[in-house]
């Protein structure tokens, strides 16, 4: 008996199937709908940055700025880069001290994470690098995210204290400094209020949490959330509640910001500017403060506008101030991007490190 061969259905009226393209999976009116939204957002950010740069160029002597660029001294530019790297090394050491209430983390890892976060801020707006610091450190070490957030808050408080100290030195050198002195006094009062509240929170004992009056008035779900999140957050504040650990972290913060101010001074010498060191102290504080509120990657535009305003108040010409603002920002961006890219490669950071919400065992496994 002849073996029957399997037959394949053949229908000439049916066309062979093919993979559907992504746009074909949705109705015609929904194809590509999300792309214009992203493009509009990017266009608005670009337009805002361009408007700030245009305002700077309109108010200054472009020809004078070009002449200043031509006189760039590479020795002082490299010296400024070295000082900037040294400053951020001290910032990493400071962060290691602040993490002492959670556990010990190797400086090599913190240095890499710190620089990676700054490189991320150069590309992604809204301080996305801070999210990277919390997520990546939690993934690599298993430390609680709430505690890491607490260390970032403590870091901001110490930085504010350093800024007030440095402004007390640099503001009197500004023309029309009385108004700025009054502003600094108001900022000092607000800061000491925040500092006092932070130190009180750092000394709060988690075992007495349930006896607090504000804890008793919370609804049940609120009390459960506080019991789950607040202890780790307080552990992140803990070093500020001790004279020794708080003093060590504060000394590192002062040293880091002094080195960064010297880096800005070296950048000024690179462009042939002969201003007092105090001028660059105020510039450094002003541009760092503006970066804390900016919504743009790398603080583009706002950095230049802030630096030009301070430099002209210190007595620099419009051309000199513009050349310094643009040139120093480029040197800062190139330094952060160069070192940051190396640290991103060293850490091998992926999107799962940023958006993954569970802890990971430091040995490589995941844990709930």
Residue 7 lies in a domain: no
Residue 146 lies in a domain: yes
Containing structural domain, residue 293: 61-350
Which pLDDT belongs to residue 259?
Answer: 97
Residue 363 lies in a domain: no
Hey, is 103 helix, strand or coil? coil
Q: Tell me how far apart the terminal alpha carbons of the chain are, to the nearest angstrom.
A: 64
Residue whose pair of structure tokens reads 């959670």 in the numeric block: 102
Lookup: tokens for 338: 């160069």
Per-residue pLDDT of the chain (368 residues; tens, 9 = 90+): 444 454 444 444 444 444 444 444 444 444 444 444 445 655 655 565 566 556 555 555 555 556 666 778 989 999 999 999 999 999 999 999 999 888 889 998 899 999 988 888 887 777 788 888 999 999 888 898 988 998 998 898 888 888 888 887 777 655 555 555 666 666 666 666 666 666 666 666 655 656 565 666 677 677 666 666 666 777 777 777 777 888 899 899 999 999 999 999 999 999 888 888 988 998 999 898 888 766 677 787 888 888 988 888 888 888 888 889 989 998 998 899 899 888 888 888 765 565 555 544 444 444 43
Residue 11 lies in a domain: no
**Tens digit of each residue's pLDDT (9 = 90 or more) over 266-276:** 999 998 888 88
Residue 203 lies in a domain: yes
Residue 51 lies in a domain: no
* Buried-state track 25-53, b at ≥16 Cβ within 10 A, e below 16: eeeeeeeeeeeeeeeeeeeebeeebeebe
| Number of Cβ atoms within 10 Å of the Cβ of 13 | 4
Task: Calculate the CA dihedral of residues 249, 250, 256, 260 and round it to 10 degrees.
Answer: 150
Which pLDDT belongs to residue 323?
Answer: 86
**Tens digit of each residue's pLDDT (9 = 90 or more) over 303-326:** 888 898 888 888 888 888 888 998
Rounded to an integer, what distance in angstroms lies between the CA atom of residue 98 and that of residue 154? 8
Rounded to an integer, what distance in angstroms lies between the CA atom of residue 344 and that of residue 13? 56
Which pLDDT belongs to residue 262?
Answer: 96
C-alpha distance from residue 45 to each of 120, 126, 230 (Å): 17, 12, 36
Residue 46 lies in a domain: no
Residue 358 lies in a domain: no
Per the structure, how many domains does the chain have?
1
């Amino acid at each position: 008996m002849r073996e029957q061969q399997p037959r394949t259905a053949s229908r000439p009226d049916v066309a062979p199937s093919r993979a559907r393209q992504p746009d074909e999976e949705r109705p015609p009116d929904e194809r590509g709908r999300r792309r214009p939204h992203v493009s509009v957002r990017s266009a608005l950010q670009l337009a805002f940055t361009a408007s700030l740069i245009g305002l700077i160029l309109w108010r200054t002597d472009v020809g004078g700025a070009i002449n200043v660029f031509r006189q760039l001294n590479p020795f002082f530019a490299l010296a400024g880069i070295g000082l900037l790297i040294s400053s951020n090394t001290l910032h990493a050491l400071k962060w290691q001290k602040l993490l002492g209430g959670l556990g010990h983390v190797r400086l090599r890892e913190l240095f890499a994470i710190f620089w990676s976060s700054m490189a991320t801020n150069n590309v992604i707006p809204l301080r996305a690098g801070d999210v990277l610091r919390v997520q990546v450190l939690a993934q690599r070490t298993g430390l609680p995210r709430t505690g890491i957030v607490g260390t970032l808050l403590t870091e901001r408080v110490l930085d504010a204290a350093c800024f007030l100290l440095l402004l007390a030195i640099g503001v009197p050198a500004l023309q029309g400094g009385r108004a700025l002195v009054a502003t600094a006094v108001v900022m000092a009062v607000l800061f000491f209020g925040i500092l006092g509240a932070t130190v009180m929170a750092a000394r709060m004992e988690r075992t007495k949490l349930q006896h607090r009056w504000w804890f008793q008035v919370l609804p049940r779900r609120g009390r459960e959330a506080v019991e789950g999140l607040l202890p780790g957050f307080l552990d992140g504040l803990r070093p500020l509640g001790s004279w020794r650990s708080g003093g060590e972290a504060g000394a590192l913060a002062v040293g880091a910001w002094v080195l960064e101010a010297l880096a800005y001074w070296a950048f000024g010498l690179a462009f042939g500017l002969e201003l007092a060191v105090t001028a660059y102290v105020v510039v450094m504080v002003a541009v760092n403060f503006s970066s804390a509120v900016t919504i743009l990657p790398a603080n583009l535009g706002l950095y230049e506008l802030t630096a030009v305003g301070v430099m002209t108040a210190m007595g620099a010409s419009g051309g000199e101030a513009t050349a310094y603002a643009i040139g120093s920002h480029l040197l800062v961006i190139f330094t952060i991007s160069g070192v940051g890219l190396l640290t991103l490669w060293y850490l091998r950071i992926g999107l799962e490190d940023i958006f993954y919400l569970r802890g990971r065992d430091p040995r490589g496994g995941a844990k709930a």
